[in-house]
Chains A and B, each alone.
Chain A
Amino acid sequence: MSLFDKYNQVNARHDRLVAAGRDPFNVCMDRIVSATEAIVDGREVILVGTNNYLGLTFDPDCIESTVEAIRREGTGTTGSRIANGTYASHRALEQEIAAFLGRRSAMVFPTGYQANLGVIAGLAGPKDIILLDSDSHASIYDGCRLSGATLIRFRHNSPADLDKRLERLKDDSSSKLVIVEGIYSMLGDQAPLDEFVDVKRRHPSVELLVDEAHSLGVFGDNGRGIAEAYGVEKDVDYVVGTFSKSLGAVGGFGASDNPEFEQLRFTSRPYMFTASSSPSSVATAMATLSKIKSQPQLRKQLWENARALYKGLSDLGFPICAAASPIIAVKLPSEEAAVFMWNALFSAGVYVNLALPPGTPDGSCLLRCSLSAAHTPAQVQRVCEVFDQAYRAMKVWRDTQSAAE
């Protein structure tokens, strides 16, 4: 009996996946050329699965200020903020995020994953109840588990289901936290946040946390996310976000108007017992945040690209899981078809994300694209052409397979 025996099934599935071509979950980019291109095995690949929404990873100003920060503050902080101290740049970034979001305070975490762990497990404890959307990201589920709270799932994007469950809990005096995401990472569908806020208002003691990981910098007139887009920021008690998407760095944050939020600095284990963000991550997030504010045209360009790819793939007849957004998930009829097409796309120089159950809603097999403001119209057009070719190749392969059976 080995410790790894429990992975036999998943390992066998992984072997089958790899046997069909390249390992979709372990692609090594030999060289990153730009926000939208890399070299893999000596060939150029268009990147359409990076979540690099604003394309800021190669912005010259952001690179310069990051390099300068490394020279000034060093390569790493070598410890946690509670034991080794906070750098002035950590504090400056927290103030900048709070000011950007119009919140009283913000806390920075080393990754977006840890931001959810730290905020959720900091806010909720074993005597509290968390109601979470059933399609929540793994970091939300993990944060919920770490909290020890009673976890109740409501149907994905269903304010009515949440309302029903809160009604059933109306005589329960436990504190209640509702968690939703602004835009869901796999399908790209938006939370109907105005309707969730209506439900929250009907249950006055309930607090609301919104994860804006994929919506920050993407939605809202100022890029503050879905809550800004719906005009309901005052009804959102806690915001969680990440630096590793539109902000082009690594890290995450939590923000709130609640004066007690700062208590998480000495109560939330994922905040207390991890190394603090590196000077380079902090400097990049600071610089890219300023770009989000000063260059709204990046958001406009992103949406133009998103609509162009959505239209291109729709016109080719591909079923897309949600309305046009910077996340465009194409649904395939089976795992085999999705894996074949992913390999065909990659071989033709287009990298998208392959997403399979159980990591996807409703057992869907998806080819997930994420757009960037840095994509050119020619790249978007090329992606559509390659999707069309790959689909034709997949159909021929499928017909050969069924003829052989």
Chain B
Amino acid sequence: MTVQATQQAVSKGGGRSRRTDAPATLSNLIRRPESGSLIATIAIFIFFAIFGGAKFTAQSGTATWLNPAAELGIIAIPVGLLMIAGELDLSVGSVLAASSMTLAIVSGHWGQPIIVGIVVALGLGLVTGFLNGLIVTRTQVPSFVVTLATNFGLAGLALGLTRAITGSTSVALTSESWAKHLFGSYVSGKFEVAIFWWIGVIVVVGWILHVSKYGNWIFAVGGDLVSARATGIPTDRVKIALFMGTAFGASLVGVIQTILYNSAQVANGQAFIFNSIIAVVIGGVLLTGGYGSVFGVIFGTLTFAIVGQGIYYTGWNPDWASLFLGVLLLLAVLMNNTFRRMALSYGPRKKKD
């Protein structure tokens, strides 16, 4: 039936709608949410390639920013997805730490097989995400507050339980070799295997957001919640699933870090909360929801990581790195706004405003 309808549409649409699927022209390119962040990434890379010298562009230099980008990216991509649906998750820091600690306690301190530790750690993430989503959708309390509360609550819980169980705030873990290879090894000596996990997350989330029909639901939920609900989209379930996604990403990074560094610290991961939001916003996702892309978040993450690490290659005082990031964040948002306005006004439009 769909096939018939398609043919009918094609014959009826005729030459008129041919431009709809025209190859990427410049006007098509600037209408995409990621165009601003792509320019930012390229500009930042060229900047540090010039001022950071050959060391920055060499393989080892690339690894220094690609490795943190991968870890940040695994969290930033689901956070971006959630932000497109109009919600924030400030609990990823504590979820990361708690999952990391759970794995170290279950498999390190208690000596269970590592697979058990990994499953429990990821399960903890999913449960936390589910609770975040449930509370946000049931109580209508802004997710900013709910996840902030979760972040503090979970941090306290992790610290209290860890000290009660192990008497320390740092727990060691010796991984079985398969787990070490899968989560915590280096490819060609420099590149963390997390890069491949990041690619996996990109493929799955990119499919969900841009190819499957669920992506349309996510944009609709973030664009106009009431209208989305009126069309029959299960908006609460969509949001809960997305909260579970961000927490799962944070848990995965917790597992990766614990296995990579052979230990877990209870205060790990808090930097990921704001870094993931910065990466997502630089990546052109609208903070209030309804607009963004996975490619944008990838570029935003890369830009963030290049700025964070590139400054060490310039020979300048690294104390200034945060200033650089702050200015960059503001510029990126202004540029993204400009591009969004261009996308909105594209087409034969009456001069009205």
Same assembly: no
